[in-house]
Structure 1
């Protein structure tokens, strides 16, 4: 019996050794970028999810870039991935969308939305073109100019008035709710009071924790709790979509109504797809609240920037008006040079995303390395945006774009808060306009 037991143990040891070696050295038709795959299944997820107490590059990325170089491999959330702080490689990849790579949103995100096949939100081709078209139509510069700007000022006025009447405000929750309620109103004409009853912002907040948690769907885990909140949020959005589909008389000219009308001419558009689209767009708006928080933090810490913004720009706009109480107009918005500098600094130093995510459609050859098809790629643009060699240790100086005559080409290459090429965020103008309006009302009417 002891011989049988010894043989069994030997077989298990050989199998585990083979499996561990296969995990640590996956197949590649060339030379892998250096790095480590971490523990089996878990990879290096735990190290990546350790919270950072600095606006500098995350310690996980900084340590590995110093050890392995600007392009290295790892495994995060169950997915083999290449991370890049290489400027040349990142610019190359963003130009290859639809050819060598496609936009990727984490497997967890796809599972959340039930994304499958060519009709998923992240698909290239007609699906991607349609999403860009419909979002630009409702969030682009023309829409901001013609109708959104006064609506933004109205909601910011009401929100700040409410905040000022309270002894204290939990800013993350309050800012998230402000942005989500406004976005839901303009995207699907849904009443803010109904959203309050549904507690949609609470569901989105609870969903956030899942995206860098290990996908273990067992009661008590972070992933399980987030999945429950996500299902509740999706159920609420489905109810809104169904209500619109079955009540044509309630439709207007918002994004949701256009998507429903387009169902007759676009084959990939279905009720499920529209619910997914609504979730993704609202989630992106919800996450913009981080930028509002950082704007408040920076202006409180840098009085010179606050004075420049208040006295020489935003109060000057009021003085030029015949009626100081009139609403903000497009020409005034476009003249806010210092305001845009504040927004740029907020986006540069506190980018919401740790990087742009892509997935390799084919084997990619670059600088002697091979990235296999199917692997994920994270373009760590924040590495350039906080690079002291470019921005002269701007972690200590906030006002860099205002006080330095940086070459525009240098800025364009090292500052990509909204992506680049066809990956450029179609809601960029919408985000900047909301932040500019928020700052305009805040510094001219409140302390």
Structure 2
């Protein structure tokens, strides 16, 4: 009896020891991933979750998120970590970031977070390849780029924003970011699909990026779950419009070179079957992704610019004077903005640059390493994720004096070399954001309409935090009135 008990005890002791050794080896491999060289300093955190929970700690200001700031101070401008189960190297080294962004397709390639790929499509967008990204960039520029901006979008922006701000005057107060979202949703939908959806659908998409920057855990109560529910509502619209457009082309015996509306959807539907990645099932998700990209990057920029200008009356006055001077020079005072006037807005462009420098909706740009990268004696292994920390570059006191201060005039003395290496709000290298000029023009028109036609008074809210996204936790409310009243 005693002998049998001892045998069972030895068996359990062996099993427990085996499990302990295996777990220990697994933890050791997790903390010391394979690398043909010396990886950057840092910690991989806990197995599987890494240091993700630390990244989601909410900061109390617009300054660099504590997760990034603390590790930057401890390890330097290049450090390793693990986020959502993936090994990541974070870089705030401006020279290295400038170099590596020039190596698109050679050392790095575009990378999307798992939560984003699930948000816009059930397949892994990271497997679509460079041909998809090149096609998408060309298509976006065709409808959101320089030529359409000059030809028609500039005047459309002015009409739309004038109408929207007029609607704001009918309310006691408005939350700037929240009210800007449906406006941008309608604008993007019109350009992409020639469709103006109901306003409440735009409201549903407010703060969708919060879901993208969370674990992709799909069960009731999670932020990601709520975003997926909102996504499904929007996809009903995009799917229906794709179906209708394809049916129209089938009935009309669609011929190459002929478009129904000349919009983005026309182009995409016409290319289905010509490009392997374009399918009837994927196109609605693609449209949804482009709408989210427009809404969730421009709406916080508009809100932040409004906040800073109202908090700095002398800067607002200087901006107003520039736009009043534009009106004085017009032969016809009732005519709308033209491209030459937009290009002449020197101080306005300073305001926009300063807003984008401080905004940083996301903490940086994600790229996947496709070949070992050697930098400063360290090796970033193939297959790892690189986070180009643009936030740290934009708030670097060595480049920008008093970096947390809103000072548009600083841009008078910032040269092209500094802008190329230290100012990357819309990407850089071989893959800058195709919507860069679109965003800047829209911001400029918003500022023009505001200061020439309306008055705003800050009512409440306006606190800005990072979680690590830029957020207005209590909203930002203003009272709007027309200047001629």
Q: Which runs of 5+ in 1 are unaligned?
A: none
Superposed, 1:73-112 pairs within 5 Å as 73-112=80-119
Point out the structure with max Rg over C-alpha. Answer: 2
2: CA distance, partners of 1:152 / 1:291 = 16
Per-residue CA shift, 1:197-229, capped at 9, x if unaligned?
Answer: xx4324433632222222222333222222332
2: CA distance, partners of 1:341 / 1:156 = 21
> What does residue 458 of structure 2 align with?
none
Q: Which of 328, 332, 339 is the equivalent residue of 1:330?
A: 339
Q: Secondary structure at the match of 2:402?
A: coil
> What does residue 141 of structure 1 align with?
146
In structure 2, the CA distance between the partners of 1:21 and 1:425, relative to structure 1 (3 Å rule), is same
C-alpha displacement at 1:231, in angstroms?
A: 3.1
Does the 8 A contact of 2:368 with 2:384 survive in 1?
yes
Q: Secondary structure at the match of 1:304?
A: helix
Corresponding position: 1:384 with 2:393: yes
Corresponding position: 1:267 with 2:276: yes
2: CA distance, partners of 1:84 / 1:142 = 35
Per-residue CA shift, 1:102-144, capped at 9, x if unaligned?
Answer: 1112122123333647xx4774432222111111111111110
> What does residue 398 of structure 1 align with?
407
Corresponding position: 1:415 with 2:416: no
Corresponding position: 1:305 with 2:332: no
> What does residue 450 of structure 2 align with?
442
1: CA distance, partners of 2:119 / 2:83 = 17
> What does residue 219 of structure 2 align with?
218
C-alpha displacement at 1:380, in angstroms?
A: 0.6
TM-score w.r.t. the length of structure 1 is: 0.93
Q: Cα RMSD (Å) of the superposition?
A: 1.9
Q: Which of 72, 75, 88 is the equivalent residue of 2:79?
A: 72
Q: Secondary structure at the match of 2:269?
A: helix
2: CA distance, partners of 1:304 / 1:207 = 34
2: CA distance, partners of 1:52 / 1:280 = 28
Q: Which runs of 5+ in 2 are unaligned?
A: 1-7, 253-258, 456-485
Superposed, 1:115-194 pairs within 5 Å as 116=123, 120=125, 123-191=128-196, 194=197
2: CA distance, partners of 1:179 / 1:302 = 26
Does the 8 A contact of 1:121 with 1:127 survive in 2?
no
Q: Secondary structure at the match of 1:421?
A: coil
TM-score w.r.t. the length of structure 2 is: 0.86
C-alpha displacement at 1:43, in angstroms?
A: 1.1
2: CA distance, partners of 1:400 / 1:94 = 28
2: CA distance, partners of 1:12 / 1:126 = 46
2: CA distance, partners of 1:310 / 1:417 = 25
Corresponding position: 1:247 with 2:248: yes
1: CA distance, partners of 2:172 / 2:324 = 27
Higher helix share: 1
Does the 8 A contact of 2:115 with 2:212 survive in 1?
yes
Count of paired positions? 439
Does the 8 A contact of 1:101 with 1:358 survive in 2?
yes
In structure 2, the CA distance between the partners of 1:292 and 1:324, relative to structure 1 (3 Å rule), is same
